[in-house]
Amino acid sequence: MSKNLKLKAARAERDMTQKALADAAGVSRQTINAIEQGEYNPTIKLCLTICRALGRTLDELFWEDEENESL
Amino acid sequence: MSKNLKLKAARAERDMTQKALADAAGVSRQTINAIEQGEYNPTIKLCLTICRALGRTLDELFWEDEENESL
DNA sequence: ATATAATGTCAAATATATATTACATCATGT
DNA sequence: ACATGATGTAATATATATTTGACATTATAT
């Protein structure tokens, strides 16, 4: 999986730390970090929660243009 | 979780059976059925694969307007 | 130089997404 | 009435998302 730099950027733009976003989304800091690092593949509900916490849409934060999918 | 009728409708619009979509997405028919029935919470990668198979975006098929999130 | 916050990462445990097999129901066609 | 395809659902098994706790690193500030 590839890194999610759009998420990292959106978080930076809101001046939120990984921990702050994790708290807002109700998950652990490691989960946010792992998503940004592309180490795993969040569920759609978590993506939706993250989008709302950052005021972004799914397409803005999680759409990928082909690249690497393997499930 | 609530049913995903947008997915069901998009599939119907393409005249694809659950099995056909499952094959296109590389998952089991039961997985597609469970997503449509709202029985679980797919990963973002699977959502992206489904979107591409149906020619839709994440926001079109998976955005939810508040309602029920519990993760 | 030292303290502190933020981040990256690892290992072990738990929760849950997904697969597989199987069966019941509903619709459509013959 | 029977066959067949599509769908809904259940049980068990496996893969993997997520948690927890801990430690190392990097940046920033004092």
Model confidence pLDDT, tens digit, residues B7-43: 999 999 999 999 999 999 999 999 999 999 999 899 9
Partner A contacted by B12 (CB < 8 A): no
Predicted local distance difference test score (pLDDT) of residue A2: 84
User: Whole-model pTM above 0.85?
Assistant: yes
Residue A29 lies in a domain: yes
Structural domain harbouring A47:
5-56
The span from the CA of B62 to the CA of A58, in Å, is 8
Is A67 a member of any domain? Answer: no
Tokens representing residue B23 in the block: 């094959």
Q: Please list every residue in chain B whose beta carbon sits closer than 8 Å to the beta carbon of residue A63.
A: 48, 57-58
**Residue A65's pLDDT band (cuts 50, 70, 90):** low
pLDDT digits (tens, 9 = 90+) for A36-61: 999 989 999 999 999 999 999 999 99
A61 in a domain, yes or no?
no
CB B26 within 8 A of CB B49: yes
pLDDT above 90 for B63: yes
- Give Cα separations from A61 to B3, B29, B64 (angstroms): 23, 28, 15
Domain membership of residue A19 (yes or no) is yes
Spatial separation of the C-alpha atoms in residues A33 and A29, rounded to whole Å = 6
Contact A69 B41 (CB under 8 A): no
Asked whether residue A64 is domain-assigned, the answer is no
- Lowest mean pLDDT, pick from A4-13, A20-29, B60-69: B60-69
- Give the CA distances from residue B62 to residues A15, A19, B42, in Å, rounded to whole numbers and listed in that order: 27, 26, 10
Banded pLDDT at B68 (limits 50, 70, 90): very low
Q: How confident is the model at residue B59 (pLDDT cuts 50, 70, 90)?
A: very high
Contacts of A50 (CB under 8 A, 6+ apart): A7, A21, A25, A32, A35, A42, A61
Q: With helix as H, strand as E and coil as C, how does A19-63 read?
A: HHHHHHHCCCHHHHHHHHCCCCCCEHHHHHHHHHHHCCCHHHHHC
Task: State whether the beta carbon of B43 lies below 7 angstroms from any atom of strand D.
Answer: yes
- The CA distance from A58 to A7, in Å, is 10
In a domain, B68, yes or no: no
B57 and A63 within 8 Å at the Cβ level: the answer is yes
Domain of residue B34, CATH code: 1.10.260.40
- Angle at CA B40, nearest 5°, toward B10 and A46? 95
Q: Is the pLDDT of residue B71 over 80?
A: no
Residue A70 belongs to some domain of the structure: no
What one-letter code names the amino acid at B12? Answer: A
Given a cut of 80, whether residue B2 has pLDDT beyond it is yes
Name the domain count of chain A: 1
- Look at residue B69 and tell me whether its pLDDT is greater than 60: no
Task: Let me know if residue A30 belongs to a domain.
Answer: yes
